[in-house]
């Protein structure tokens, strides 16, 4: 392999390029718009920061957020002091720094857009807007809706996307806020960035018309006084694969591979994608450097795919279940106000350390223990201790991507 073309200079492409260049490969990264802001929250979880500590340096000026508020569709809410802060960054800064890191490792960054891919006897022919190029291997890391994707694999179906819509709102704040909504698999958010807020909403494609999604977000902004005057609007489709789509997913073939959003590696429950983009790029770089691209899909499945497939199973339950008349996410918020056990579970979900495979068993154990805990608090109020005169309780409120095995 002489030349690897990495199409897309986001976290997945930059990480793949950095690992390949460090391994001695000739790598060319194609990115048309350097330093482009991307319509996403920009949150870096504790899991991402722990695996990639250089991210805090790469995301210059990232805002460390220790306070988070989660609001149910009913309006009930809980505030957490995060044990491990979330870093919220500008994606334009983060992407630029990760590309610079790849360049320092020896990758060449070309400011051009590849508009067509064609296989030839000698490898790949890439048609750019500026000129044409050749490569022996192609890494597609240009997003899930890249027009180059059909040259490698079929496009994802509409059911495999979430619609995101929002605003970059001028201002500063130190509170991360998330509100879950009635009858949609999604939420509204406000993430404080270094010099503005990312305020948006995500919902599964086809659940509601765009105008209805916008109206939900505008109501959220009015309630919490996020002003639209002077704000810049954004909209984006984010991959959120269904369970059946995980069974059909192809990540690599003869002379090519996918990474990041292009491979569908986004959490369908939360929308988080930065960590999975970086890890898939890193794994691809390692596999290619070792001449073992065939094992790349298996490694991604073991480290990311199985987790995200479990998330896809849980999405409908989390957003649409009926537990005594309320959804699971609403009940979690209610119990967080009373139970340390459920609060710890929510903390772990925010940090990215709670695997989805074990989420429901832990939640059910927490629900049972919480009922006992809440009952004990009630009894404390009903039967005062003789030594203090009593009073209310003080408790605080097929292949790696083949057919999935049943739980």
Tens of pLDDT along 151-162?
999 999 999 999
The reply to whether 390 falls in a domain is no
pLDDT of residue 34: 81
Q: What is the mean pLDDT of the chain?
A: 87
In a domain, 406, yes or no: no
pLDDT band at 312 (very low <50, low <70, confident <90, very high): very high
Q: 102 lies in a domain?
A: yes
Tens digits of residue pLDDT in 195-219: 889 999 999 999 889 999 999 999 9
| Residues 280 and 371 grouped into a single domain | no
59 shares its domain with 174: yes
In a shared domain, residues 244 and 355 = no
**Same-domain pairing of 251 and 107:** yes
Residues 194 and 102 in one domain: yes
In a domain, 405, yes or no: no
pLDDT at 363: 79
pLDDT of residue 10: 93
Residue range 360-373: mean pLDDT, rounded: 74
Q: Are 131 and 141 in contact (CB under 8 A)?
A: no
Q: How confident is the model at residue 248, as a pLDDT?
A: 85
> From edge to edge, which strands make up the β-sheet containing 26-30?
108-110, 26-30, 3-7, 137-140, 256-258, 252-253
Question: Positive or negative, the Cα torsion across 49, 51, 57, 60?
Answer: negative
Please state the pTM of the whole predicted model: 0.87
Does residue 375 lie in a domain region?
A: yes
Buried b (16+ CB within 10 A) or exposed e, 32-46: beeeebbbbbbbbbb
pLDDT category of residue 375 using cuts at 50, 70 and 90: low
Same-domain pairing of 102 and 196? yes
* 12 close to 141: Cβ distance less than 8 angstroms: yes
| pLDDT digits 0-9 by tens, 279-300 | 999 999 999 999 999 999 999 9
Spatial distance between the Cα atoms of 340 and 343, rounded to a whole number of angstroms: 5
Co-location of 365 and 247 in the same domain: no
pLDDT in tens, 175-202: 999 999 988 999 999 999 888 899 999 9
Q: Are residues 176 and 36 in the same domain?
A: yes
Residues 195, 332: one domain? no
- 46 lies in a domain? yes
pLDDT digits (tens, 9 = 90+) for 25-77: 999 999 998 877 777 778 899 999 999 988 877 766 788 899 999 999 999 99
Spatial separation of the C-alpha atoms in residues 124 and 144, rounded to whole Å: 21
| Residue closest to 79 by CA, chosen among 328, 269, 347, 330 | 347
Selection from 86, 91, 63, 65 nearest residue 193 by Cα:
63
| Whether residue 297 is found in the same domain as residue 352 | no
Write out the residue range of the structural domain in which residue 198 sits.
Answer: 3-306
User: How is 117-141 classified by DSSP, letter by letter?
Assistant: EEEETTEEEEEESS-EEEESEEEE-
Look at residue 398 and tell me if it is in a domain: no
Q: For residues 191 and 203, give the distance between their C-alpha atoms in angstroms, rounded to a whole number.
A: 17
Residues 20 and 134 in one domain: yes
CA dist., res. 54 & res. 274, Å (int): 14
Convert the pLDDT of each residue in 208-263 to its tens digit.
899 999 999 999 999 999 999 999 999 999 999 999 898 888 999 999 999 999 99
Q: What is the count of structural domains for the chain? A: 2
Tell me the pLDDT tens digit for each residue of 108-152. Answer: 999 999 999 999 888 999 999 999 999 999 999 999 999 999 999
- Same domain, yes or no: 198 and 230: yes
CATH of the domain at 118: 3.50.50.60
Going from the C-alpha of 127 to that of each of 9, 151, 182, 248, the distances in angstroms are: 17, 13, 46, 29
Which is nearest to 307 in space by CA: 371, 356, 343, 263?
A: 356
Q: Does the residue 206 lie in any domain? A: yes
């Amino acid at each position: 392999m002489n030349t690897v073309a990495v199409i897309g200079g986001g976290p997945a492409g930059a990480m793949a390029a950095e690992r390949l260049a460090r391994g001695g490969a000739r790598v060319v990264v194609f990115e048309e718009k350097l330093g482009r802001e991307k319509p996403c929250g920009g949150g870096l979880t504790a899991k991402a920061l722990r695996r990639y500590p250089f991210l805090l340096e790469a995301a210059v000026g990232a805002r460390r957020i220790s306070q988070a508020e989660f609001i149910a569709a009913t309006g009930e809410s809980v505030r957490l002091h995060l044990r491990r802060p979330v870093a919220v960054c500008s994606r334009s800064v983060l992407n630029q720094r990760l590309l610079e890191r790849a360049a320092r490792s020896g990758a060449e960054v070309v400011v051009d857009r590849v508009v067509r891919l064609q296989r030839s006897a000698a490898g790949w022919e890439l048609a750019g807007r500026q000129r044409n190029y050749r490569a022996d291997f192609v890494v597609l890391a240009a997003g899930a809706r890249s027009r180059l994707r059909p040259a490698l694999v079929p496009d994802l179906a509409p059911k495999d996307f979430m619609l995101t819509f929002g605003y970059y709102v001028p201002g500063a704040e130190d509170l991360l806020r998330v509100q879950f909504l009635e009858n949609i698999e999604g939420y509204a958010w406000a993430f404080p960035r270094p010099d503005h807020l990312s305020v948006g909403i995500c919902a599964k494609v086809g659940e509601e018309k765009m105008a209805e999604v916008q109206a939900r977000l505008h109501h959220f902004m009015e309630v919490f006084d996020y002003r639209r005057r002077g704000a810049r609007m954004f909209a984006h489709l984010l991959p959120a694969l269904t369970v059946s789509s995980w069974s059909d997913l192809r990540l690599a073939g003869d002379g090519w591979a996918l990474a990041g959003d292009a491979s569908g590696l986004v959490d369908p429950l939360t929308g988080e994608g930065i960590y999975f983009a970086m890890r898939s790029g890193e794994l691809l770089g390692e596999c290619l450097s070792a001449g073992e691209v065939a094992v790349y899909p298996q490694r991604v499945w073991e480290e990311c795919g199985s987790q995200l497939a479990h998330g896809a199973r849980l999405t409908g339950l989390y957003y649409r279940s009926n537990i005594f008349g309320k959804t699971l996410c609403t009940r979690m918020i209610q119990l967080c106000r009373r139970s340390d056990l459920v609060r710890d579970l929510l903390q772990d979900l925010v940090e990215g350390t709670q695997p989805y495979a074990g989420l429901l068993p832990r939640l059910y154990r927490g629900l049972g223990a919480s009922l006992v805990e809440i009952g004990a608090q009630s009894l404390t109020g009903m039967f005062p201790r003789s030594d203090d005169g009593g009073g209310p309780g003080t408790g605080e409120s097929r292949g790696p991507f083949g057919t999935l095995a049943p739980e």
